[in-house]
Structure 1
Amino acid sequence: MPGLLWRAGLTALLVCGIGLLPWLSRTDPALTVLKARAVDGDPAPAALQAVRDELGLGDGPLRLLGRWLGGLLHGDAGRSWVSGADVLTSVGSALGVSLLLMAAALTVAVATATLVCARTLWLGSRRRLDGRGAGGSGTAVLAALPEFLVASVLVTVVGVQLGWLPALGWYGPQWTVLPALSLGLPAGAVLGRLLDDLLPGAFAEKWALTATACGMPPGSLARQALRRSVPALLPNLGLFVVGLTGGAVAVEKLFDIPGLGRATLDAALAQDLPVLQAGTLVLLALAAATGVLARIAARLLLGPALAGRELGTLSRPGKPARRALPLVYAALLAGVIGFGLARDPFAVDPAARLRPPSPALPFGADALGRDVLARIGHGAVATLATAAAISVAALVVGVLLGFLPRVSGPLAELVNAVPAVVAGLLVAGVAGRGPWTPALAVAAVAWAPLATHTSALLRQERATTLLAATRALGAGEWYLLRRRLLPAVLPPVARHAMLRMPGIALALAALGFLGLGAQPPSPEWGLLIAENLPYTERAPWAVLAPAAVLALLGATAVTASGRRRA
């Protein structure tokens, strides 16, 4: 019961925080409304005060929150400060578009996961599996790429250069294909990789050996192994859909889709707080509802006898993966960054506008004639340095909160339901856009996996006989903390934090791509792709070069954390 009350309190606190956005905002909402109504409007004190009185911004936080919550209970979320349209009507229309896109993306994800696992299922059902999944490293790399990066490449290559499918708009089934692929391919690779890791353990269990000896057909054996593995996958389904929800924001923006993600992003950029409040609330509710449905599905699949109990682990520890590949990727990445740092990222040469790659400009030039390689190299310094600082902060907070599992457990569950993109929208609503907006947003959610990992390791260590014997010999809690618990927890959690650093860098790039971070002429990685997208038809290298470097970063992270099973 206390845990349930704590979860309910945290949820209420989050909802109240969204409701107080107009009061929390460091920008003046009255000035935003005045500029929306008349670009050349006089921001005189009298005009601003008239807008504040009209919106009730001077009523104080409690009355402001009460009016917003009361309106929601009566089906009224206010009117847009920019367009004047009813918020719930526009959000409902946008939600329908987003749900259709997500349904198409889920179809792509399931098909992708099926293809990833097909070889493992075939080999395992015929007893030809050597104890590890048959999925390739390419699947792992695809799983590490953010949706905006996949979408940028698909738009540039398939939509613009090859012209096979329309790249912009939302006018029919043809316009659904590329956005659904952008969302579904990375998500399907994640699902397929997780399932591919579980299947070898299922095929190695005694029931599978007995079934094979009794002559069970390979197809039936594969279906039973799949059924055995899926329940262990369901707890990750909530996080999977949370990622899908966050990725939809970037994909809808890139493909000019009138969905909820794009509407919420536009509201954050324009400081249209009523639409931002309703949009983020619906996005969070969608992620939370999916998590509940995943838990219900797990109970149905496990049945009443096993509901609430943990199944035996399917993944068996294995030998470390060969380290040659991550070293090669890391060396290539370091080489690109090093060569770029030796060049000037801000030098403008009008004669070199959109010039293709050459010995003088290895990655070509952008629309202003600036060296793309130089901008990639200098952008890496800011992006990776920020990612390193966030990783250290997340490690400290994660370990501290991990020692308080009753506090951190429900809090981590709530934070896991907030994608970094949605956190970025909320931070932008409060503090506006700026170079620190992505860092604050990513730092707000980066600690949760580390706290969960710390709590799990502590439970495992406290259950050991050695710790019980040490305590029985008279050791105090401080001694146990310094000599037993911290040495057992810090090394693996620190490695976990280090392996998450490239993912944090990719999240920072995603928020920069959405326009929530640094502004031109900054060479931030996500911004590089965003500002060069309008020129993909004439200069695809200006998009593909930074996209390839980001992909290389993801490949380095995935291969460095990989394991080869025994």
Structure 2
Amino acid sequence: MTHQAADSTTVLSVPGRAPGSVRRSWETIRDLPAPYLLATAVLAIHLLVALTGPLWAPFDPVKLSAGPPFTSPSPDHLFGTDNFGRDVFSRVVHGERVVLLLAFSASGLAVLVGASLGVILAYLRNWVDESAMRVVDLLLTIPPLILSLLLLSALGSGYVIMISTVAFFFALRVLTVIRAAALNVVTEDFVTAARLRGESAWSVARREVLPNVMSTVLVEFSLRTGYAVLFIGGLSFLGFGAAPPTPEWGLMISEARPYVTNAPWIVLAPSLALASLVVSLSLFTEAISEALGLGSSRVRDV
């Protein structure tokens, strides 16, 4: 295994990965199978809607009586109206931003905390590392959904609490993955040399270890974002997430359940939006994982 030094930071070349930096690995995406490219395009559309949708959505997402209740899809209301006469299309469009903000916040916090702790523990490799991993292994035996519901029942269901709860459980998984990747780096000669130069543990972890696991960090962020969309949607569906009349997809699906027979479009619109986002994120994660030479991400548990 070879390494290159730049600004006293050494970056390993990973087997199966295109030579050069992470940036150059992205060039291989154009050679990936069509489903991956299609998923990337769908994901780009979702991001574009989240950024610009509220500017062109035809109705206020919480406005009552935008049209007659239970209006079927038409040119005036592309996805019809719900039981309160709210425009479903506008609610789905506005909900895109809500869903992605919550998911990015939870996954970003999880990766920030989990990756930092994973690198530090891998560098230490002492009783602190061993004790911490025993606690992590114990916590990972608890079903996250059950404990999340217990915590949200006790602490409330605000956005901050929900994001923190989801991030906590995801951070445990991120920690184990990043620590495993970092353990392959901390034994390298350039890390030993940095220690012998008298660099602090924080400096070695930040400048020598972290750059060599950034590919894994990137994949973990994408992977956890997809899980967060589904997990947060599930919490909202169960009544522990967003509060009415917020246009959050999980909440919209929950509110539309009584009308699924008579007005199926109320359920189908947010359901299809949620499904397409989760699937596109999953395939996009597979794409960047292969592009970076890290193999499949499907074996990683939530």
Query: Are 1:324 and 2:41 matched, yes or no?
Result: no
- Residue 486 of structure 1 deviates from its aligned partner by 2.1
Q: Which runs of 5+ in 1 are unaligned?
A: 1-315
Counterpart CA distance in 2 for 1:495 and 1:484 is 19
Residues 433, 500 of structure 1: alpha-carbon distance in 2 compared, 3 angstrom cutoff: closer
Provide Cα deviations, 1:339-388, integer angstroms capped at 9, x if missing partner. 46523101212752111111211111111110111111222222211222
- Residue 335 of structure 1 deviates from its aligned partner by 5.6
Residues 408, 544 of structure 1: alpha-carbon distance in 2 compared, 3 angstrom cutoff: farther
How many residues of Structure 1 are paired with residues of Structure 2 in the alignment? 249
Q: Is the 8 A contact 1:340 1:373 kept in 2?
A: no
Q: How do 1:134-533 residues align onto structure 2 when only pairs under 5 Å count?
A: 321-322=32-33, 323-334=36-47, 337=50, 338-339=52-53, 342=57, 343-349=59-65, 351-402=67-118, 403-404=120-121, 405-468=129-192, 470-471=193-194, 474-478=197-201, 479-533=203-257
- Residue 523 of structure 1 deviates from its aligned partner by 1.2
Alignment partner of 1:461: what SS? Answer: coil
Please, which moves more after superposition, 471-480 or 451-460?
471-480
Counterpart CA distance in 2 for 1:472 and 1:449 is 28
Alignment partner of 1:352: what SS? Answer: coil
Alignment partner of 1:362: what SS? Answer: coil
Q: 1:558 aligns with which of 257, 282, 291?
A: 282
Residues 474, 377 of structure 1: alpha-carbon distance in 2 compared, 3 angstrom cutoff: same
Residues 397, 474 of structure 1: alpha-carbon distance in 2 compared, 3 angstrom cutoff: same
Alignment partner of 2:185: what SS? Answer: helix
Counterpart CA distance in 2 for 1:376 and 1:407 is 46
- Residue 435 of structure 1 deviates from its aligned partner by 4.2
Q: Is the 8 A contact 1:366 1:372 kept in 2?
A: yes
Counterpart CA distance in 2 for 1:473 and 1:431 is 48
Provide Cα deviations, 1:310-364, integer angstroms capped at 9, x if missing partner. xxxxxx9587534521222114424655446523101212752111111211111
- Residue 475 of structure 1 deviates from its aligned partner by 4.8
Q: Which amino acid aligns with 1:352?
A: P
Residues 334, 411 of structure 1: alpha-carbon distance in 2 compared, 3 angstrom cutoff: same
Residues 520, 458 of structure 1: alpha-carbon distance in 2 compared, 3 angstrom cutoff: same
- Residue 442 of structure 1 deviates from its aligned partner by 0.8
Counterpart CA distance in 1 for 2:165 and 2:199 is 39
Q: What's 2:258 paired with?
A: 534
Provide Cα deviations, 1:249-307, integer angstroms capped at 9, x if missing partner. xxxxxxxxxxxxxxxxxxxxxxxxxxxxxxxxxxxxxxxxxxxxxxxxxxxxxxxxxxx
- For the pair shown, the structure with the greater C-alpha radius of gyration is 1
Alignment partner of 1:519: what SS? Answer: coil
Q: Which runs of 5+ in 2 are unaligned?
A: 1-14, 18-27, 122-128, 296-302
Counterpart CA distance in 1 for 2:224 and 2:152 is 24
Q: TM-score, normalised by structure 1?
A: 0.41
- Residue 524 of structure 1 deviates from its aligned partner by 1.5
Provide Cα deviations, 1:114-170, integer angstroms capped at 9, x if missing partner. xxxxxxxxxxxxxxxxxxxxxxxxxxxxxxxxxxxxxxxxxxxxxxxxxxxxxxxxx
Cα-Cα RMSD: 2.6
Provide Cα deviations, 1:371-410, integer angstroms capped at 9, x if missing partner. 1111112222222112222222212211232122324322
Alignment partner of 1:518: what SS? Answer: coil
Counterpart CA distance in 1 for 2:47 and 2:214 is 28
Q: Give the fraction of aligned pairs with identical amino acids, expressed as a percent.
A: 31
Higher RCO (CA 8 Å, separation ≥ 6 residues): 2
